[in-house]
Amino acid sequence: MNPVKIDPVWLMHIQKPARYIGGEWNSVVKDHDSVDVKVALAFPDVYEVAMSHLGLKIIYSVLNARDDTLAERVYAPWVDMEALMREKHIPLYTLESKCPVKDFDVLGFTMPFEMCYTNILNMLDLSGIPLLARDRSDEDPIVVSGGPCVYNAEPVADFFDVFFIGESEEAIGEMADIVKAWKKEGKPGGREEIIRRMASIRGCYAPSLYKVSYYENGVFRSIAPTDEAAQFPVEKRLIPDFDKVKVDDKPILPHIEIVHDRAVLEMFRGCSRGCRFCQAGLIYRPVREKSEKKLQEIADTLIRNTGYNEISLMSLSSADYSCLPELVDHLLETFKNRRVSVSLPSLRVDSFSIDIAKKIQQVRKSGLTLAPEAGTQRLRDVINKGVTEEDIMGACANAFKNGWSKVKLYFMMGLPTETDEDLKGIADLAMRIKELYHTIRGRNDCRITVSVASFVPKPFTPFQ
């Protein structure tokens, strides 16, 4: 192992040096010489965003739970640190050991959204690893990827050796077994052989083992395997029993404030709603819940291992969890003397339960967050949101009667069939909610925040 030397004086000239020093509580540091498989887990965004990503935390826990494997983290440097690294010829390194990522067996990227693709290429360049998979030698790590974007892998297929499609908690362990056996055998067949072996893992797509053709206008035409090791078709990996999914119950505590700086409890995967714009709701089907008892155990362990004072109940549609009232009651009772609050980040308007909302406000009062998505009923019907204006106004009325004075509303613009009338409806709806507050409370101190994001058509959705 040849760790990178970072002069502390250099870090005095950049923003937030804590992004690059490692040594956080609960991070796992292993001896590189005592393990068989070394994996660098990369997230193509800055520390504050990367440290908030649950998927990468789970993979980190899965790999580091093995005695024969180590996993270390590497995130995209901010522009000031990147400039310093290029000026001082510092290669991209992991936080745990400061070891260059080029020296690992596997470099695994999480691809959460399309806008991070250029960051991935930049991180490869900073690492000294050839951008194109075909240009890499046996001395370079195998570059793999997982996450939502790999369901549509072809736009970046030239840059990766293997894609893990679907839920990777089990597949990543199978990868470690394969890499370990290949190294023990003396790396027969070099890079091509290890890629062929990885391609045998269910849910893995190795682009070099397929022939892809396009029409003259660049539209995708066909794909066919060229090697017997290649699966066809490649089916997403799914874990049927969600109680058996590995949990990151000892999350790394960041040095600085991150985007989601709290304990996270994943209640279930999948969503039964079928909104036409939502990729996650489609690719993570079917719905699989964790048992209430299991969630209670995880919550207790999370708070004990971190000291967080907030636990977030996270899923695509958290209010749809079948045992939500019982779970909330247990958490509030368990943590009532420790000032630990419970939050539900994704309450749905139509399944809104004012009783649950009132309960979770006992420890720490916060605003009400709703996602109508569109300003008119016509457009909400187009996107299959399944929410009426009566639902929205009813939820707000209940909240205002029970003491809420802050409402945050999430919308999208640029949806299919959208008109100026639909956009005007966003402001109109916000004003009607403000008037409703005045009618109920007789005051004008209501604070309404309207957030409008641009619609992005996603693969495997009706609006792709």
| pLDDT score of 350 more than 60 | no
- The mean of the pLDDT values for the chain is 92
Both tokens of 365, joined, read 């009062």
**Angstrom distance (rounded) from CA 270 to CA 373:** 19
pLDDT (mean) for 65-91: 97
- For residue 297, name the pLDDT band (cuts at 50, 70, 90): very high
Q: Which of 75-79, 128-132, 153-157, 400-404 has the lowest mean pLDDT?
A: 400-404
The residue that leads in pLDDT, 316 or 452, is: 452
- 8 burial type by CB count under 10 A (0-12 exposed, 13-18 middle, 19+ buried): exposed
| 393 and 372 Cβ atoms separated by less than 8 Å | no
* pLDDT on residue 354: 64
d(CA 74, CA 265): 24
Q: What's the rounded Cα separation, in Å, for the pair 351 and 335?
A: 25
Report the distance separating Cα 181 and Cα 187, nearest Å.
9
pLDDT attached to residue 353: 62
pLDDT band for position 351 (cuts 50, 70, 90): very low
Sheet-wide strand order for 162-164: 69-75, 37-43, 106-110, 142-146, 162-164, 204-205
Write out the H or E segment, with its range, that includes residue 408.
strand 406-413
Q: How crowded is residue 155: how many other Cβ atoms within 10 Å of its Cβ?
A: 12
Distance CA 100, CA 127 (A): 7
Tell me what pLDDT residue 304 has. Answer: 93
Write the CA distances from 327 to 260, 294, 313, 445, integer angstroms: 21, 10, 10, 33
CB 278 within 8 A of CB 464: no
What pLDDT score does 182 carry? 97
Contacts of 219 (CB under 8 A, 6+ apart): none
Coil, strand or helix at 140: coil
Q: How many helices (H) and strands (E) does the chain have?
A: 14, 16
- pTM of the predicted model, to two decimals? 0.92
Q: Hey, is 137 helix, strand or coil?
A: coil
Answer whether residue 286 shows pLDDT above 50.
yes
Contact indicator for 99, 4 with CB cutoff of 8 Å: yes
266 φ, ψ (degrees, to nearest 5): -85, 115
Please count the residues of the chain: 464
Residue 13, Cβ neighbours under 10 Å: how many?
11
- Rounded mean pLDDT, 263-281: 91
Backbone angles phi, psi at 74, to 5 degrees: -145, 135
Q: Would you give the DSSP letter of residue 235?
A: P
DSSP annotation string for 250-298: SPPBPSS--TT-SEEEE-EE--SS--TT-HHHHHTPSPEEPPHHHHHHH
- Going by pLDDT thresholds of 50, 70 and 90, the confidence category of residue 348 is low
Q: Are strands 162-164 and 142-146 parallel, antiparallel or unpaired?
A: parallel
Q: Cα-Cα-Cα-Cα dihedral of 77, 83, 84, 86, to 10°?
A: 100
126-137 b/e (C-beta count within 10 Å ≥ 16 → b): bbebeeebeebe
**pLDDT digit string, tens, across residues 1-53:** 789 998 899 999 999 999 999 999 999 999 999 999 999 999 999 999 999 99
**Residue 364: pLDDT above 90?**
no
Q: Residue 359 — very low, low, confident or very high, per pLDDT cuts 50/70/90?
A: confident
